[in-house]
Structure 1
Amino acid sequence: MFVDVTEYLERLSSIYKRVDEAYSAIASQLGFSCKGCEDLCCNRVFLHFTVVENFYLIDGFRRLTDDLKEEIFRRAEEYNQAYSTTSRPVVNLKKLCPLNFEDLCILYEYRPIACRFYGLPGRLVSPTRGTEQFQGCWRFEKLFPEGTDYTLDRTAFYSELAALEGEMRKKLCYYQKYKKTIAQMILDEKNPEGLIPRNYDFFEGY
């Protein structure tokens, strides 16, 4: 079954644009930026929970040169090996994301929402978990040790992303749980069965 997911990627792009605008507005008010940071957020483990973000990232990945893709595949395999053999990797693993080249993300415009939020203090209101508060990054905490009144509310963005994900999954008949690192997303590109929904129709066209 062929399913064109272009519409969903375009809508995700719109969500990302508004996230970036909201982030930039608060960062500008505070005079906060990543410039000159001694730390690298790209060596932290981020887990991602939406298939639509996987498709979006891979859309960017497929635009790279073959040589770059092969280098990223190599890095992704190394990363995944380290992730698989580290106890509590989300807490303990410190290894650069395979997309980081010379301290910059090579697919910056395609990076997932978790990467976009990282840095500023955040707030998320969940119907199941209540209100969650997120600290700023290491640099933010160093610059503002007493905290600030500025918090980026993630709720509306995550709600819209969840609705978009639900629509796309329904169209794809994709009902598996999804939780992956960027390295695992990339390695799925080499595995034809990486995103095939078990017991559901095969899909392509992304």
Structure 2
Amino acid sequence: MLDDLFSKYAAIARKADYLFKTIQEKYPLSVRCRLHCCDCCHAIFGVFPIEAAYINYHFNRLERKLRRDVLRRAEKAEDEMLKAKDRLKVFEDNPKMKVFGLGKQRVRCPLLQDSEECVLYEKRPIICRIYGVPYSLKKENKEISYVCGFSGFEEKASYPTVKLDKLYQELTNLSQNLLTDAGYLNPVAKASLMLPLARILRMSFEDIMKGNFGE
């Protein structure tokens, strides 16, 4: 059953790659992603439970030294994220400002090596496959568009946009199936959780499968 879920997740990853490539081919001068370009690797983001399981599974198949280096960076990243959250406590009564402020924080991804290359590039999260082209997410019944600040896409111009909500819904569904198969009693409650990458790298695969995310 796990093989089937991972296969379906890999299909979503291929879809994300296809969507990225389609826009890149149409706007080659505007998509400026390149080797060692890693601005997006300093953004704070989360992964769905199915992504957490998939990434953790493949991470634990890397050689020991690589894993040790990543885990050291993951510990540092978690500390930096906790400090960032502490700084944002002043916005406790203003959720919008809190979310805005969190989006402005910079924390280096633990998978990013000193060479500025991702140690798990082929298995990277879905959002990492989309960043660099225009994408949108619904917030409070309003569709908000985003684009990399280093791209050549102009703010007020109209471009094809990746509807990230559609991909996220597929990830939520797979996450629910994962937790259901693992015997979790309330899979719907945790299927849409966004888990910090630094945390899930340090967790055991068994805990992820059981939904023991330690929120």
TM-score normalised over the length of structure 2: 0.77
Are the equivalent residues in 2 in contact too, given 1:40–1:103 (CA < 8 A)? Answer: no
- Among 7, 11, 14, which residue is 2:8 paired with? 11
Supply the distance in 1 between the matched residues of 2:161 and 2:112 (Cα, whole angstroms): 27
Alpha-carbon spacing, 1:168–1:25, altered in 2? closer, same or farther (3 Å): same
The residue aligned with 1:161 is: 171
Structure 2: distance between partners of 1:168 and 1:92: 32
Equivalent residue, structure 1, for 2:109: 97
SS of residue matched to 1:123: strand
Identical positions, percent: 23
Q: How does 1:1-150 map to 2 (within 5 A)?
A: 4-31=1-28, 32-35=31-34, 40-48=39-47, 50-86=48-84, 87-88=87-88, 90-101=102-113, 102-124=115-137, 129-140=140-151, 142-150=152-160
Q: Structure 1 158/194 Cα, relative in aligned 2: closer, same or farther at 3 Å?
A: closer
Partners of 1:169 and 1:192 in 2: CA distance: 12
Q: CA–CA distance in 2 between the matches of 1:193 and 1:12?
A: 19
Q: Deviations over 1:73-110 (max 9, x none)?
A: 11101110111122247334312101001222111111
- 5+ unaligned residues in a row in structure 2: which ranges? 89-100
Q: Structure 2 vs 1, CA of residues 151 and 70 (structure 1 numbering), >3 Å: closer, same or farther?
A: same
Residues 43 and 170 (structure 1 numbering): CA distance in 2 closer, same or farther, change over 3 Å?
same
Of residues 146-155 and 60-69 in structure 1, the stretch that sits farther from structure 2 once superposed is 146-155
Measured in 1, the distance between the counterparts of 2:149 and 2:46 equals 19
Amino acid at match of 2:117: L
RMSD: 2.5
Which one has the bigger helix percentage? Answer: 2
Q: 1:84 to 1:194 in 2, by over 3 A?
A: farther
CA apart distance, 1:112? 1.3
Contact 1:46 1:90 in 2 (8 A): no
5+ residue gaps in structure 1?
199-206
Q: Size of the alignment, in residue pairs?
A: 190
Shift of 1:145: 4.7
1:194 to 1:138, Cα distance in 2 relative to 1, 3 A? same
